[in-house]
Each structure stands twice: as C-alpha cells, then as structure tokens.
Amino acid sequence: MANTETQSILVVGSGMSGLTAAIEAAEAGYDTCIVERNPYLGGRVNQLHHYFPKLCPPYCGLEINFRRIKQNPKIRFFTMAEVEKISGEEGDFEVTIRLNPRYVDEKCTCCGKCAEACTMEIENAFNYGMDKVKAAYLPHDMAFPMRYVLDPALVKSDEAQKIKDSCPYDAIDLDMAPRTVELKVGSIVWATGWKPYDANKLDMYGFGQYPDVITNVMMERLASWTGPTKGKIIRPSDGEAPETIAFVQCAGSRDENHLPFCSGICCLASMKQATYVREQYPDAKIYIFFIDIRATDRLEDFYNRVKEDENIQFFKGKVAKITQDENGKDLVLRVEDTTTEELREISADLVVLATGMQPNTSDTPLPIEVPYDDYGFVASQNARPGIYAAGCVRTPTFVSEVVQDGTAAALKAIQSVVRR
Amino acid sequence: MGVKFDPNLMKDLKAFGLKDANKCMHCGNCTAVCPLSTPENTFPRKLIKYAQMGLKDKILKSPEPWLCYYCGDCSDTCPRGADPGETMMVMRRYLTSQYDWTGFSRKFYTSEKFEIIAISIVGIFIGLALWIFHAGNPNMEHAHLNSVWPAPAIEIADIVMGTILAILLLSNTWRCVKFTMGDLLKKIPLEIYITQAKELVIHFLTQRKFGECTDRMQWIVHLLIMTGYSTVFMLVVVFLAGGIHVIGLSWDEIMFQRDVIYPFFHPVRLLGYYATFAILYGTTYAMIGRLKKSKAQYKNSHGTDWMFLILLQLTTLTGIFIHFTRLLDWPMPTYVLYVIHLMVAVPMLVLEVPFAKWAHLAFRPVVLYLMAVKEKYLQEQKGAA
Amino acid sequence: MEKESQLGGFQGNVQKIATFPYKGTEDNDLEALIQEVTQNEKIKVYTGAKVDKTIGGPGVFEATISQNGTTAAHRIGAIVLAAGWQPYDPDKLDEKLGFGASPNVITNVMFEESFNGGKIGRPSDGKDVTNVAFLQCAGQRDPDHLPYCSSMCCVTALKQALQIKAQNVDANVFVVYKEMRTPGQSEDLYLKAQEEGITFIRCQSPEVKVSDESLAVEAEDELLGEAVLMENLDMVVLATGMVPVTAFGMDITQEEKKKDEEEAKKGEEDLDDIPLDVIRRSELLNLEYRQGPELPALRYDFPDSHFICFPYESRRTGIYPAGCVRRPMGIATAQEDAAGAVMKAIQCIELTSNGAAVHPRSGDMTFPEFAMQRCTQCKRCTVECPFGAINEDEEANPLPQITRCRRCGVCMGACPERIISFKNYSVQMIGAMIKAINVPEEDEEKPRILVLACENDAYAALDMAGINRMKYNAWIRVIPLRCLGSMNLVWIADSLSKGIDGIILLGCKHGDDYQCHFVKGSELADIRLSKVSETLDRLALESERVRFETVSIIDYDRLPAVLDEFAETIDEVGPNPFKGW
C-alpha cells in the first residue's frame, strides 16, 4: 500500500455532488480535500428556494452536510480556490491550487461591522445581479464557512483602511495575496457542476431588454426570503405584483442553436416555481409553455398535483418570440398551440425563462486531458484513471441523482487509492 | 373518422428535395416565429405534420405553401434543424407537380436527368429550327437579325409558343384553384371574386406579403428578379411586334427586337436595361447565396433551383452580348448569339413556366387572391349571421 | 445472492443497449461484467438462491442463504438490495391495448426476451416485420395501473425501434407517445430515431384494433387534431412499466390491523395512533425485525429514501436499496446507483465497526441504554422506533439491536417509564436543564416560555434569525433536542408544574412530504402532545399553553412572529397557577 499522503482524495467543486463525494469518502475513513471556487461551500443549491417535489429547503440538507464536515477531521477544504494544474498519475497526482484572497481571516465572527462601515456596493452575484450588496459582505445567510469576504475592488479603494479599522477582531488582512498550494493526492473527483445557460443569447425572448423577462434561477432568488425582494415575487420593472406569469420551457434547451440536450430538471423546476407563485398570489394566472413535460418516475405525482390547479395552464407549444405591447407594460408571447393549430399571442406581466444547465467544463475544462462529449460534459464517470467526474459535469440532472452520482464517485475514488 | 398513415409520401417528397422534416418534434416554434403565419392559416408546422403522416390530400388542399415566401426565419430558429422553410419549398415543388395534369412537371422535379435532357432537347430543337428556317441571304455586312429571321416568322412562333404556354399554365392554375378552394369555390359569389381582383394584381406586382418578413433583402432580390423577368416577358410577348403585328395590333414606336437601334432614352431600351440589371443582380445574388449557403433559404438547392438560375442568367447574359454585338454591328456573332440566346430562353419559358419554378408566378398571387376572397366571404357570412 | 440461475438479471435478455452518449444502440457487454464478478475472488456468488432469514444488524448481520436444498449462513456487514423489478402484468392492461387479442401484440419486455437471438420477426410466424407500432405508457402514468412513469420506456422504445430500422431500413416504425421523455443527453437518441425515419405520434389514448389476420392502431394525434390509422401492422409493442419487487406480497400493516382488532377486543392498550410503515412480505431479505421482514416502502412500494439530499438514507440501517427496486431507472443510472449503494455499505461497516452511528448522526458514539428492570413491556419503544432497531421477545421485552440504531432518541421520548437514555442525552439531562431555567415570580409579570426545538432545522433557523439580528420575545428559553421524537412528555409536565407558562415545540414538517430525518420524530411528538391535553385538564391548565409548530430551516423570517404571537397568547392566558409551588 502506498503512503498515506497519496491515499487522500481531492474533490473539486463543492456542490451537492462534490460535497457528497467528499463527505462520504471521509466518513468511510479517507482523507479528503475540497477545492471550491466560491467563498462558500454548497454550490448552486444554496441559491434555490425549494427542492421539488417535496418543496423543502436546500439549506436543510446543506446544514447537515456542513455539520458532518465540521465534525470530521478527515475533511479539509479550500474556498475561493481553483485547480490550476494536475500532473502525475493515478495514486500519485500533483495538484496546484490557486487560492484567491478573501481578505478576512478566521477571526471573523460575522459581527457585520465591516459591512456597516462600507459604502461601496457591488453587484450581488448570489442574487444573479438583481440587487447590490456591500463590498464587504457575507455571501449568504448560511454561508459555510461563515465568514465575510472583501471584494478586491474594495481592497484597492480608499475605503480599505477604514474597513480594516472597523473590524473589532482584527480579522481583516488587506495584504492577503493570491497564492498557490501544492497537494499530493491519490485520486480526484471532478464535480465543478453547471451554470445556467446565458439567457442573453436568447435574443428572441428579449432577456436583458425587458426587465420582466427573468430566468428560472432568478425566480428562485425572487422567491427566497434571502433574495433581493425578501421572498416577494414581483415584477422587476415596477415592483408590482404579477397577475399573469408565463413559464417558457426549453428556453435554449433541446435546441440545436443553443443547448441541444434536455436539462431534465426544468419542467419540474417551473412547476415548483408555479407553486411559489400560487402561494403568494392565489388568483394569478400561470402558463407553462412546454414541448414535452418530463416528470420522470414518481415525480409524475408532482406533475399531477400541479395540473390540478385550475389557474395553471399547461400549454403545448414553444414560445417563438416575446415582445412588449404598446403600453410598455405587458409582454406578449407568440406561440402556437400545437394541439389545436392555433396561433396565439398571450400577454403576461412576468415571464420566466426555463434556461438549461450548461456544464462548467464546457468553458473551464479540466487542466488535464479527459474526454468530453459534444456539449462539453465529461464523457464518462471514469474520466481517466484516478479521475472521476460526478454530478452535472457528466449529465444534467436533479439533486438526488447528483448525490447518488457523488456517492458513486466517492467509491471509485476510494477504489482507485486502495488498488495501489 | 380519421386519416390513414401513408408511408410513401415521405419517400416521394425526398425526390422533391425533402431532407430534414423527419427531425421535427412539433414544438411549434416555426409557426409562431413566422411573420406571415396567421390564425386563419398557420404554417409551416402543420404541413410538416402532413408530410410526416403522408397526408397527400391535405397537402393538396393547402394554400399555405404559397403563402410562404421563404424568408428563412423558421429554419434559422428551428431547435431541431428540421428546416421547415425547406419543407415549404418542397411543398411548392410538389404542389406544382400535382397541379400539372400532364405529369411532365413531376418528372422534371424528380429526375435531374430528365430535367437536363428535356431542356437540352428543347434547346437543340430550337437551335435546329433556327438553323434550318432562316432567310436565304442573311445580311453579313451589318448585324440585322430580321434579315436572317424575318419578324413575322418570329412573331408567329412567339404567338404559338405563348398560346401553348398560356393553355398549360392556365389549366394548371385552374387545378390549383380547384384544389385549394374545394367546395368553397362555387359557394362564393362571383361578385366577391371580382371585387377582390385588385388583390391579385397587387400581390403579383408588389409581393407585399414578402415585405412583412424580417429579412427584407430577400424581398428586394425577389422583386428584382420578378419585375426584371416580367419586363422582358412583356417586351418579348407584347412589345415584340409593337403589339401583335400579325393580327394587326401594333405600334411601331415600341417594337422590340427590330433592327432599328433606339436612342438611349427610348422607353423600350430603358426597360430592357432595367430588366437586365434587375435579373442579373438578383440571380447573381441568389447564385452566390446558394454557393455559399449563406442563408437558410440557400442552404438546400434542388436541381431545379440551379437550372432556373442558370437559364435565367444565361438568357440575360446572351441578351447583353447580343445588345453589344448589335451596337458594334458585328453580324456573325450577333446571329450565333441570338441562336444561343433562344436555345436558352425558349426552354426556360416552355418548361419552367408551366411545369416548374416559374409557375409560382401564377400560383402564388392566385392563392393569395383566393385567400382574400375567402376572407371576405367568411366576413360576409359572419356579418350575415 | 441471485434468485435466478444466472447472473445478470433482466439485462441477460437484452441484446442492444442505449446509454451514454446516446448516439445510437450499442452491444450489451453484460458478459464481461459477469466475468469480472465471477472471477473476483472477493465475491462469493450464489445463484438460484434465496435469503431465508436475516438476523442481527449492521456489522453483525447473519444471512441464511439456501441454494439447491442446502443452506449456508454468512456473517455480513451491510446489505445492498438490488432485487430489481418485475414488468407490470400485461394481462391487467386495458382491453383497448389489445394484449392477448393477438400474438403480435407484445410488451417491451417480451420484445427483449423474444428477439435476443438477433432477428426481429413477427411473433405469430417469425416473418419479417415491416410495420411496427410502439405504444408508450401502457398502463403507466395511469391511476388505474401504475400511476408513475418508469423513466426508461421512452429510451427503450427508441432503441427497439432503431433495432428494427437497422434490420430493415424501409420498415415503417411508429412510436405513439403521451410525452416523449428523453432527459439529458438521451435527447440525442430521440433525434437519431427521427433521423432514421421513425414516425412519432403524440396521443393520450391509442387503440389497438385486432381482426382475424390484421392488426391496426388508431391514435388521436394531438399534433394533427385527427385520428390516424396505422394499418397492416406486423407487431405492436406495448411499453409496460416497472414494478419494484418490493411491491409483491401481503402488506404487514393489514396483518397488524387484524391483530390489533383482535387485541382491542381483549382490551389491551391501543397503539393505533402510531402510523405504521408499509412493509410487504416480498420474501427478499426476510429480516427478523419486530417491525416487519423487509424494507419499509414509500409510495408505490419503492423502498427509496425520502430525502432528496440523501438518496441512500434508507429506513433500515445498513441496508441500501439500489437500482430499479429503489426507483425506476435506466442502466446508466442503475450502475451509478449500485456504486453509490456499495459506498454507503462500506461506510456503514467502517462506522459500525468503530461503534459509531451512520448518517445523519454520523460518528455519534453513544447508544440507547435500557434500564430493563423498570420496563413495563408497553411496546411503545419497539413500535415507535422509526428504524426497526428494537426487537421484542415473547414477553414483549425490548431487545435493542444497537448497530441498527440511528441515535434519534425516539425510544427515549416514547418511554413512559423513562428507562431509556444515552450517555450524553437523557430524560434526566433535559429535565435538569428545564429545572435550571429561571422562572420569574408571578408578580414580575414576566411569563417564561420554553421552546423545545429540533436541532437539525428549527434550532438552525433560530440561529439564523440571530445572525440576521432579528428580535423575538425575551421570555423565551430554548432547549435543542436531537429530534422532537425524543421529546418525553414528562418534560412538559415538569415544565408546567415548575411554573413555566407556555411550551412550544418546533419541529420538522410531517405528513407525506415529511422532512424529519428520523422519519416520524416530529409526527410522534405532535401525537404525544395531543394527548397532553388530558394532563392539562387534570392540572386545570389551559390547553393553549402547549403548542406544536412546524418549522423549516428557512422559516427564520417568520419565526420571530410565531414566537411573539405565542408569547402574546400566553400573556393573555395569564400566569401559570403552579408558579412558586
């Protein structure tokens, strides 16, 4: 058996698949190390309001997972970190990790004094730019590690010293610089996840042009109490309550001009979001424009439940374009009802584009050669000896399957280090 | 009651150039993105479904293929690469062949070999006829076409050709009207047909609907080719003898293709220049487009599309050359070019106008006109109710 | 352990498979996988075998396996249940689907079984097939048959249709579907099938028409708005769904009910209020567990985890279902799932051998200890344990099997005699904490309110309310519990008799979409609390003084309001008359 150093497992990405892979491997007795690009662990699910079909909050599972990490000395993690280089081979990888400065060290108690002192505001990436946040900020309510971050722009600004002085615990270090660390690991789980397809490319839908055309991920933030509107679903243009909400399915998905594959989750996500709307607006009219409703296995029950709502209309037809009507308030969706051959123009005052999942590996591939499919997904879980892909870098899917995949990847990573 | 699936139609349509219609998953994007699709006449998705299911009868009754000007929006945005615009084009080819009672059109469309042979035969026939039937002593000093082929003979040939063409085209158009209107044809009072007649003229001349498409360049190019062609057509058929000389209807001042060379600003000469420019510009644009596959509508080229452009361009080019050899007063080149010119132009007229692509110059405005008639009728019905 | 004589299961019948990257069909490489298994010296294979009995718990399971009349006992650390599925019985299908009316109407499963030799022929006479219709969702997504979607039938139909096309490029192949479900990259297979000229018809209720020699399908095509007739069919393939093998056999809750009815006649104590799990006698594991011989199932008899974030959080410690028994899935997912389940099994053995609990209290080294001399054999603990960790002997004495335990403390909360405790968590401990709460005198006009909060969600929510600097009533004192299921009523009685004015329990959502990680903890607490009203009456106290509130981790925005409102109610009700006693 090789030495203990090379028995450790590196997990890149700490979304549900990476987080799971790391924790499961650690709980089976293996040293694991997580590398996460964000200042917090947990990935995209942090930004979701509820999961379908149970309509339960992602924070619940994350909280348990974070507790498992806190209790387990076998897990280490780096946030604001990226893997720059991988060399070597199975059982003996040499990994270079770049750590970006957070400018706040472990002395931070989240007292919030730095944010109080700060006047500079930046776009809030956590809320997909729908609001602003102080440049000294806690990424979100349940951020783990629970520690503030300073934006590099703030550190360069004249305010920097004032912010540093505002910290009663001397937790701010303005001189932090990017640095790299070298790690020796036996195997690697690559779980860098996905990003929402860029809605700006969907010019027929006027995203960016009409403020009331939003994406499904933005809708999650609107519905969340920690979002830009304290959980109130309102029209971004005028802050008014929407009366008619249209969910446009396959916005760029199943589309050769954009993402030819199906992201598998958007149908259910939109149905779930329809329940958010319904909860806040019992009289709102909701349209879901679809090609095929893909509610696989027992998720069919959820579809049936949503279908029972008389004010939710499932409309079979892909929306071709969205324009604004003359009064500049309502959006008009041009769509064919393919079951009746009717050409319709339907007005809505809030449109949610169900954009799909694009693998992050499509623009940020692994720093070592692995096979990809036509769409930039890693083509196989066994990407190469000792390197395993897990979660949405492999196939777009929902949380429980991602966790399943992460657990499976943990096994393969362990087998890889044990085999030696 | 329902319809029966027919597996043969798809295979048949392949010969008319159908390629990607299989891929359609019926999302409805094409119909909704189309600027010309209306609640009364939705297309193109419906037609793709008809094709997939082999519903020949339904296709035959459909006016929609003629309502489409092929701007390409549907094909550009089709999520499946099913190229709905091309399917509509195929439908037009298919309908042209269905309207044609002689069966000639079908052969022309489905066999490139037949197409080339037919054009060649007519061309060679014309060549031979011109070779054999010419005046005894052509003027070799000056380029005087009438000295080789006297005007009355050409006029007679022209009238014969024109009559045959008209009979074929009109009979096919009548079938188009019958298929498209079905029972309604006789139900609608004649009065409406008359009052709406202006629609026919407007659609023919302006192709107004095409202007509603997003890509206006296509409209301009199409309008150039159409007006250029129509101008020449008028010059040849009507002005040839300043009217029809043989039957005593003529006006010397506007005679076309006479040995007199008109001054530059003479209307006939100006019309000729316009036509030449328009056709040349239009066809060159289309040919480059097809070569580069620059737009959706240029991506798939059927044999007949190329034949159409080549014949049109050759006719125009030989026409230009003749114009110059006449100006330069080179007798022999003028006569040779004239033979070639007619060897190209006549087959184009004889074969393309009633049987192939040129036929749409009749079908499309007629169907648009019929739709206006139908709309008016339905309005009145509704009003009466 | 495989019940059939060969390894491979249903896949053994399958000639071609469709999997990543879903660009077409591929040869089934099951043989290679089977070889890998049989050649691995660490794997002992039993075929044609059955598990007669499984006793013990994680780390100390003992399975009795019978094979060809002989039995062998094995010590086992953990179990992966990959017993798979059965096709839905086609004889139960609606008559209009034509099954049974013609030999040429077959199911997707029969397709695989019949044609794994290679040639696809007409079932009646083996002749070449040129016209074939696939009817999807046969008895699926249908409340009268299988209400769920089996996930893999669309891809299977596409694969089978492509197989026919590969055999005869001119064949007319129809797929009549309700919704085409090809998620992820499998969308490419749908496109591939379209490119190959397969015709798709969207129809919610197709009808198979069988007459003497001819077979036809009539389908109302939604996308055409008319019925389409497909005639002269050589074969119709019905896409029947997957039924987990755990769906077969008598449901023990029905047995329990019968028994209870008998017992009720005898006038024994009524345990009816405890919701029972659905467990069927499907003869897979034959567990010797007091609560039933198999895994408890969710809806439609799938013994799946109820948790989105924790798909392997099964209801029996150390037993992990994988593959189509857990939920319907295709081969690619099934392989991943198996790897995941094995990971959990290995981890369970690792943790158990160290004496630690598995998820969600992973690493917890304590376990419930029973002071048996005071036990009254009331069965509360054995019935209520959500994980079946406590067996019973004939005298109804609890026999805890520690390695099955998840350390939730439900037994501790259930026990009326308070004989169950953990080293670091006991009735006395929380009782002492309650005693230590300072209760202001009546004349101070400061009521005291006790919050018993689930430490997983409610307590975290209170925490986040704090981080957000939200304010709630200062009369409140909070004690976190492992799970509300560990809430013992004696704490309520103690609190009230001590003069605490109100008690509010904050626990997870229960019911169909329960969020309690100990399955029934919050529900049991709610049930127990509902019984407290008697106690309150006896003490002449107002029932408003105790309340159960469902709280999730993100409810911190409304939590202060809930608590404030409760405080107001308590203020109105007035001080606890037991104050100062």
pLDDT tens for A29-59 read 999 999 999 999 999 999 999 999 999 999 9
Which pLDDT does position B249 carry in this prediction? 65
Nearest neighbour of B2 by CB, restricted to C194, C197, C226: C226
A59, A93: one domain: yes
Domains of chain B: 8-99 (1.10.1060.10), 104-384 (no CATH)
Using a CB–CB cutoff of 8 Å, tell me whether B105 touches chain A: no
Residue B230 has pLDDT above 80, yes or no: yes
Residues recorded for chain A: 420
- Cis peptide bond prior to C21, omega within 30° of 0: yes
Contact assignment for B37 to A291 by CB distance below 8 Å: no
Which pLDDT does position C267 carry in this prediction? 46
Residues of A in contact with C246 (CB under 8 A): none
Which pLDDT does position B257 carry in this prediction? 67
Which pLDDT does position C221 carry in this prediction? 96
Instruction: For residue A108, tell me if it sits in a domain.
Output: no
Which pLDDT does position C581 carry in this prediction? 62
Nearest neighbour of A336 by CB, restricted to B28, B79, B81: B28
Residue B179 has pLDDT above 90, yes or no: yes
Mean pLDDT of B220-244: 80
- Confidence band for C240, pLDDT divided at 50, 70 and 90: very high
Mean pLDDT of C41-45: 95
> Mind listing the pLDDT tens digit for each residue in C319-335?
999 999 999 999 999 99
Minimal C-alpha gap between B73 and chain A (Å): 11
Selected for mutation to probe chain C from A23, A298, A303, A304 (highest C CB count within 10 Å) is A298
Lowest mean pLDDT among A308-317, A330-339, B319-328, C84-93: B319-328
CATH of the domain at A61: 3.50.50.60
Question: Can you tell me whether residue B47 is helix, strand or coil?
Answer: helix
Check if the beta carbon of residue B23 is closer than 8 Å to that of residue C197: no
Check if the beta carbon of residue B281 is closer than 8 Å to that of residue B225: no
What is the rounded distance in angstroms from the CA atom of residue C213 to the CA atom of residue A333? 50
Instruction: For residue A24, tell me if it sits in a domain.
Output: yes
- Confidence band for B132, pLDDT divided at 50, 70 and 90: confident
Give CA A77 to chain center in angstroms: 19
What is the rounded distance in angstroms from the CA atom of residue C382 to the CA atom of residue B10? 68
Question: Can you tell me whether residue A387 is helix, strand or coil?
Answer: strand
Residues of A in contact with C310 (CB under 8 A): 61, 64, 403
Selected for mutation to probe chain C from A17, A32, A64 (highest C CB count within 10 Å) is A64
What tokens does A59 get? Answer: 């924070």
Instruction: For residue A342, tell me if it sits in a domain.
Output: yes
A185, A202: one domain: no
Residue B116 has pLDDT above 60, yes or no: yes
The predicted model scores a pTM of: 0.94
Within 163-202 of A, beta carbons closer than 8 Å to C belong to none
- Confidence band for B1, pLDDT divided at 50, 70 and 90: low
A245, A307: one domain: yes
CA-nearest residue to C180 within chain B is B25
Using a CB–CB cutoff of 8 Å, tell me whether C424 touches chain A: no
Nearest neighbour of C224 by CB, restricted to B10, B49, B80: B49
Residues of C in contact with B22 (CB under 8 A): 194-197
HEC string of C366-418? CCCEECHHHCCCCCHHHHHCCCCCEEECCCCCEEECHHHCCCCCHHHHHCCCC
Residue A2 has pLDDT above 90, yes or no: no
Residue C171 has pLDDT above 60, yes or no: yes
Contact assignment for B3 to C191 by CB distance below 8 Å: no
Minimal C-alpha gap between C199 and chain A (Å): 16
A187, A290: one domain: no
Instruction: For residue A104, tell me if it sits in a domain.
Output: no
> Mind listing the pLDDT tens digit for each residue in C469-519?
999 999 999 999 999 999 999 999 999 989 999 999 999 999 888 999 999
Nearest neighbour of B22 by CB, restricted to C197, C221, C227: C197
Using a CB–CB cutoff of 8 Å, tell me whether C517 touches chain A: yes
What is the rounded distance in angstroms from the CA atom of residue B83 to the CA atom of residue B77? 9
> Mind listing the pLDDT tens digit for each residue in C78-96?
999 999 999 999 999 999 9
Nearest neighbour of C311 by CB, restricted to A339, A340, A400: A400
Instruction: For residue A173, tell me if it sits in a domain.
Output: no
Which pLDDT does position C157 carry in this prediction? 98
Which pLDDT does position A3 carry in this prediction? 44
A118, A232: one domain: no
> Mind listing the pLDDT tens digit for each residue in A404-415?
999 999 999 999
- Confidence band for A4, pLDDT divided at 50, 70 and 90: very low
Question: Can you tell me whether residue B19 is helix, strand or coil?
Answer: coil
Domains of chain C: 89-240 (3.50.50.60), 426-581 (3.40.50)
Virtual torsion, Cα C47, C52, C58, C59, nearest 10 deg: -70
A335, A366: one domain: no
Selected for mutation to probe chain B from C224, C231, C232, C233 (highest B CB count within 10 Å) is C224
CA-nearest residue to A410 within chain C is C343
Minimal C-alpha gap between B46 and chain A (Å): 7
Using a CB–CB cutoff of 8 Å, tell me whether C230 touches chain B: yes
Most confident option among B138-147, B232-241, B341-350, C303-312:
C303-312
Please give the tally of structural domains in chain A. 3
Which pLDDT does position C270 carry in this prediction? 54
Check if the beta carbon of residue C130 is closer than 8 Å to that of residue C171: yes
Mean pLDDT of chain C: 93
> Mind listing the pLDDT tens digit for each residue in A152-171?
999 999 999 999 999 999 99
A302, A255: one domain: yes
A19, A162: one domain: no
A230, A348: one domain: yes
Using a CB–CB cutoff of 8 Å, tell me whether A117 touches chain C: no
Nearest neighbour of B53 by CB, restricted to C180, C194, C224: C224
> Mind listing the pLDDT tens digit for each residue in C533-556?
777 877 778 888 999 999 999 999
- Confidence band for B19, pLDDT divided at 50, 70 and 90: very high
Residue A260 has pLDDT above 60, yes or no: yes
Domain that holds residue A254: 198-355
Percent of chain C whose predicted confidence (pLDDT) is above 70: 97
* ipTM for the assembly: 0.96
Instruction: For residue A124, tell me if it sits in a domain.
Output: yes
Residues of A in contact with B45 (CB under 8 A): 336, 338, 341
Check if the beta carbon of residue B275 is closer than 8 Å to that of residue B232: yes
Residues of A in contact with C342 (CB under 8 A): 411
- Confidence band for C263, pLDDT divided at 50, 70 and 90: low
End-to-end CA distance of chain A: 6
Inter-axis angle of helices C489-498 and C427-436, nearest 10: 20
What is the rounded distance in angstroms from the CA atom of residue A82 to the CA atom of residue A103? 17
Selected for mutation to probe chain B from C223, C226, C230 (highest B CB count within 10 Å) is C223
A20, A88: one domain: yes
Sign of CA dihedral C372, C373, C374, C375: positive
Using a CB–CB cutoff of 8 Å, tell me whether B214 touches chain A: no
A75, A186: one domain: yes
What is the rounded distance in angstroms from the CA atom of residue C447 to the CA atom of residue C570? 8
A133, A16: one domain: no
Sign of CA dihedral B234, B235, B237, B239: positive
B336 CB-near residues (< 8 Å, 6+ apart): none
Residues recorded for chain C: 581
Using a CB–CB cutoff of 8 Å, tell me whether A410 touches chain C: yes
- Confidence band for C244, pLDDT divided at 50, 70 and 90: very high
Mean pLDDT of C244-251: 94
Which pLDDT does position C150 carry in this prediction? 96
Residues of B in contact with A343 (CB under 8 A): 31-32, 37-39, 42
Percent of chain B whose predicted confidence (pLDDT) is above 70: 94
Minimal C-alpha gap between C309 and chain A (Å): 6
Percent of chain A whose predicted confidence (pLDDT) is above 70: 98
Of C411, C416, C412, C426, which is closest to residue C493 (Cα–Cα)? C416
Mean pLDDT of C248-266: 74
- Confidence band for C264, pLDDT divided at 50, 70 and 90: low
Residue B250 has pLDDT above 70, yes or no: no
